[in-house]
Amino acid sequence: MVEMASQVKDLALDMLTMVDLIVKENVGNSVVLSLYSKMVFPFLKRKILTTDDKLIKENLEVSYKKLKPFFEKKQKKELLEEGERLSGHKLHPTLRNMGDFKETSEYF
């Protein structure tokens, strides 16, 4: 019997749904897509629903730590853009092309 989804399971299912969309948009082979849709996705969903919340939480923490640097850079980029917008001045091109600023501008 499948138990009701907790918040942690809901988050894991949301992530699975995002991956599902990527797979469906990028798999061109109809046989592979059919197998994925009929077997793999339902299997993964069932496994999430039947896995202990503690284990899911531990795995989500690993995912968070891997994603955190990307979103910190995205936030920095947004703050720089907001500063430019509020001041009415663009950051000097020399500064924009320096290490962290240049890397930050490439995110999202």
Clarify whether residues 31 and 72 are in a common domain: no
Q: Model-level pTM greater than 0.85?
A: no
In a domain, 60, yes or no: no
> Exposed, middle or buried, 83 (CB in 10 Å: 0-12/13-18/19+)?
exposed
In a domain, 24, yes or no: yes
Residue 25's domain comprises 1-51
CB of 24 closer than 8 Å to CB of 33: yes
- 67-78 tens-digit pLDDT: 898 888 888 878
Tell me what the mean pLDDT of segment 52-65 comes to. 95
Residue 48 above 70 pLDDT? yes
In a domain, 61, yes or no: no
Clarify whether residues 43 and 74 are in a common domain: no
In a domain, 58, yes or no: no
CB of 5 closer than 8 Å to CB of 18: no
pLDDT at residue 72, rounded to an integer: 85
In a domain, 17, yes or no: yes
